[in-house]
Amino acid sequence: MATEVNQVWNYCNELSDRMIRERGRWMSGFDFSAYTVGASKQFEHIGSSTIQETAEHYACKRCSAKRRKTKA
């Protein structure tokens, strides 16, 4: 499960960095939901609620760190 959550975290990290570079805006936890629809089908151990919680947690941590990318 931890590996799959880490993959979601890394996806959010890359997506957020790309969005900042290309569009100049920060993503909120809600913004990630459009990009993670159907992702639970790719994972064996985590569901959509875990993916959404991970994305929201990532957005919160990134905002408080005030950095384009965060470490896991």
pLDDT in tens, 29-59: 889 989 999 888 888 889 999 999 999 999 8
Q: What is the pLDDT of residue 7?
A: 94
Outline where the chain has alpha helix (H): 2-23, 29-33, 48-65
Of 13, 20, 31, nearest in space to 69 by CA: 13
Write down the pTM of the prediction.
Answer: 0.82
Q: How far apart are CA 56 and CA 66, in angstroms?
A: 15
Residue 51: the pLDDT is 92
Distance from C-alpha of 42 to C-alpha of 62, rounded to nearest angstrom: 25
Tokens coding 34:
């459009």
